Chains A and B, each alone.
Chain A
Amino acid sequence: MATSWAIRKQAEPSADALSLASLSAEARALWRLRYQRFRWALRIVLAESRLRLALIAVLSLVLWGVIFWLCLDGFHFLRAAVAHTPTHDQIVHHVFGMYLLALMLMLTISSGILLYGMLFRGPDIAFLLTLPVSTERVFLHKFQEAVWLSSWAFVLLSSPMFVAYGLAAQSPWYYYAVLVPFLAAFSYIPAAVGAMACLVVVRWFPGARMLFLAGVIVVLLAGGAWVVRGLSSTSPGDLLTPNWFQSILHRLRFSQHRMLPSWWVSMGILEASQPKQPAPWTTRPPWAESLLFLGLTISNALFFRQVAGAAGGRWYRSAYSRLHTQQHVSRPGFLPRLGWVAPIRLLRQLPPQLAAAADRFLLRLPIGSSATRLLVVKDFRLFRRDPVQWSQFLVFFGLVLFYFLHMRPFSYDIHHATWVNMVSFLNLSVVGLLLSTFTTRFVFPTISLEGRRFWLLGLLPLRREQILWSKFIYAFGGSILPCSLLVLLSDWKLGISPLIMGIHQLTAVLLALGLSGISVGLGAKMPNFRETSPARIAAGFGGTLCLVLSALYIVLVVALTALPSHFWLAFQTGQAAWSPGPFGLWEQSIRFWMLLGIGCSVLLGLAAAVIPMRMGFRAFHQMEF
């Protein structure tokens, strides 16, 4: 270590080390920091997670291609169905306006939430705030990251639609050239609004931030439901008639407000897509109109960025201080000042009582040993006390629930039982895929995290198998209930026959069983004790493999039960004739195929639960901590 002369050297007085960096120099330093971190992360991903990267790239391309194909087909259909050009343009304008307006709202919320995490809870923020960096620069540094993080998916989802429209409308080359600056400038505006909203809430209402967020989400959901209800209240006979179009456009007129950035972008993009002749209402050529809208969008983006930066420079530090000096109120005192209102008092008392009842229920279940049940209760408590877990669970399953509740039972011209059956199995797959993301994200990492504190469990009178069993029971129990209920709701809304409902319920059980086995077994077989973040553990090689295997398993299990059911319904409803075709599809054999499919899926489900668990047991038993 250091010698005395080294310490003397250390202590030599500095010349001008206390002069502050210029504002541009600190901006460059932060950009360089971001570049270096990105370069290292990319290098590591390329070296260690090629499978994951390839999977992401392929899936993104597939998603892009599917959206592009659907949009292209849709725009061609629209052009064929609505020959009258002004009406066609009006419809497209409304579609773009509505889409961009919805995205604007989503970007505002997502960037606000992202910035809250980055500005007030980020691991590096306390470090940055103790450096001699201007507060505005720290704020902008995080703001730029939030813009990128919240808008890349927007670009991925929007670009195929706009490219498809360009092709369908035979747009000139500059249509494609202006797309990027339009989308980039557009994403800045809601991000800046979200940033300022986040700052204002934390600075002046730090104790009510969750209430505020919940209120915004409720308002948006109510607004969305109102729009959906308005659009779907047309009588079936009017579908695709001129009256129907006019009625829909009338209901969407709010998206055409001239002050909305979504309207500017929609107008600018559509102008760029026009042929070179000027529109009747202007003497300017379309490209000039488009550039005017682009200028309007960019100048507003810059204005909002400046305002957000100035607000950050002025209030960010005090907001940070206020948030971190808030008194930590023990749950469930999120409405402490309204505690005297009886319903709120009841609301406050309910969650702990329900939680205690759930704990007691779990402890009395006749499954496993008492130690195993105790471990299950422990995991359940960790789940419900971790807002990251239950909030994601609620949001995603809530969205699926919302979709299922608003699913219309094909009352127009489609009465085919096979179509309904197909949709029901697709819904089942969606629930399964959603479940697989949760088992990968929240169950798979638990073994690795348990390993980090294994000294605690290892010193208790427990067999290691009990730990894995408890994880399996926890994962299965937590999966089967939402999975089964959602599938039941979907079937009920679709008016599915009891036999297919029974098959769906069996498939739901198999999905929960297999996905729990895969996530727990692979989690024990491929743990990562270096990482502390469950998200990073799930994003590693083991997590990616778990996700891929889970997806394959879902496709296989659903296909094994869906295909025979589909053919059985087709023959039952007379949409296909009973005949000995190449696959022998006559009445007796279809029953055999159905039974065989169900039998195979049961066997597959058992294999998916047993094989990874056995591998996991072996690995977990031999593991040294």
Chain B
Amino acid sequence: MKRSTPTPMVEFSHVRRCFGQTTAVDDLSLAIQRGEVFAFLGPNGAGKTTTIKMMVGLLHPSQGAIQVGGWDVVRHPRQAAQQIGYVPDEPFLYDKLTGREFLEFVARIRGMSAEETQQRIARQAEVFELTDFLDRLTETYSHGMKQRVVFASVLLHDPPLLVADEPMVGLDPKSVRLVKDLMRAHAAQGKTVFISTHTLALAEEIADRIGIIHRGRLIFVGSLAQMHQEGLMQDKNLEEFFLQLTDGQGRTPKLDASETFSAAGEEAAASSVVPPSADLPTSKEG
């Protein structure tokens, strides 16, 4: 059942996902509020894509629950999917369709009327400058063109939650700028943006909060300002801080393992860092 009280846009509750004996995501508890841009960072194989795939309903958690817009993604996948616009790391388009036909298909599946579909496609074509190639078969598109059409398709229905896995790969600088602006604009509307990225500069530039996952465990959540304020970064930039957190040889900041992090994006939310090996207590909303 959909909850009547205001809820975070995304809520992970003690989520765990195992691949056989390997734990890819371990006891992840996190809440992301409406109007927030959340950047999810982590080294290769840390569990970012697994987390995203669980959020969009592709994989089921081994334990715990995920809610998107108040809908449980396992029990109500259709309703949850309607809240989400998902840009995967490998953009998919049907190669034997034109870009316009692809957008029309997505619009129909999302329940839009024919008139509304045409209006929205025209709008997205203008924003992403798709007009020149929208009526060509997508198999002739470059990676960047495909990525722009995918962005247009996920934004067709103005999703309350935009999820993007490495969204900037293959985009030219102009498109990168556009996507960044769109993400900020989307959040300014009171909608949520969740991006997974290796580009720390991108996270620094547009994210309200940053989450760092390492070996399946969320080891840091907070804003850049909070990091500086709490002296976590000292005189380091985000890159140095990230490497220090995730590098097994590096010095891990001395932290109180009992200190829990707050996952909400409220101003009052406290940031914290937890060593990968430490057992995380139940996270609470901020």
Contact = CB atoms under 8 A, between A and B. Distances in A.
A317 B178 contact: no
Interface in B88-112: 88, 92, 94, 96-97, 101, 105-106, 108-112
A321 B60 contact: yes
Interface string A1-20: 11010111111011001111
Contacts of B129: 1-2
A220 interface: no
A2 B129 CA distance: 7
Given A4-B181, A132-B81, 14 more contacts: A2-B129, A9-B127, A10-B123, A18-B157, A22-B111, A25-B111, A29-B108, A37-B96, A127-B88, A131-B110, A132-B110, A324-B58, A325-B59, A326-B20
Interface string A363-396: 0000000000000000000000000000000000
Given A1-B178, A9-B127, A21-B111, A132 B96 contact: no
Given A22-B111, A26-B109, A37 B97 contact: yes
Interface in A320-374: 320-321, 324-329
A41 B59 CA distance: 32
Contacts of B157: 14, 17-18
Interface stretch (B27-35, B182-190, B202-210): B182-190
B58 A21 contact: no
A132 B79 contact: yes
19 contacts: A2-B128, A7-B178, A7-B181, A7-B182, A9-B127, A10-B155, A10-B182, A11-B188, A13-B189, A19-B111, A20-B79, A25-B111, A26-B109, A126-B58, A135-B78, A324-B58, A325-B19, A325-B24, A327-B21
Nearest to A6: B127
A2 B181 contact: yes
Contact of B96 (A20, A28, A44, A327): A44
Nearest to A207: B20
Interface residues of A, number: 50
A1 B177 contact: yes
Given A21-B108, A29-B108, A130-B86, A318 B96 contact: no
A392 B87 CA distance: 36
A37 B74 CA distance: 31
A133 to B, nearest CB: 6
B17 interface: yes
A32 interface: yes
Q: Which of A4, A28, A317 has the most CB of B within 10 A?
A: A317
A33 interface: yes
Given A21-B111, A33-B94, A321 B59 contact: yes
A99 to B, nearest CB: 36
Nearest to A129: B58
A20 B92 contact: no
B174 interface: yes
A132 B82 contact: yes
B77 interface: yes
Contacts of A36: 96-97, 101, 105
B170 interface: no
Given A8-B185, A10-B123, A327-B22, A133 B83 contact: no
A21 B19 contact: no
A317 B20 contact: no
Contacts of A33: 94, 97, 105
Interface in B107-163: 108-112, 116, 123-124, 126-129, 137, 155-158, 160
Given A9-B123, A40-B96, A32 B82 contact: no
Nearest to A44: B96
Given A2-B126, A130-B84, A317 B188 contact: no
B43 interface: no
A134 interface: yes
Nearest to A9: B123
Contacts of A624: none
A124 interface: yes
Contacts of A131: 81, 106, 109-110
B127 A132 contact: no
B225 interface: no
Q: Which of A4, A8, A37, A318 has the most CB of B within 10 A?
A: A37
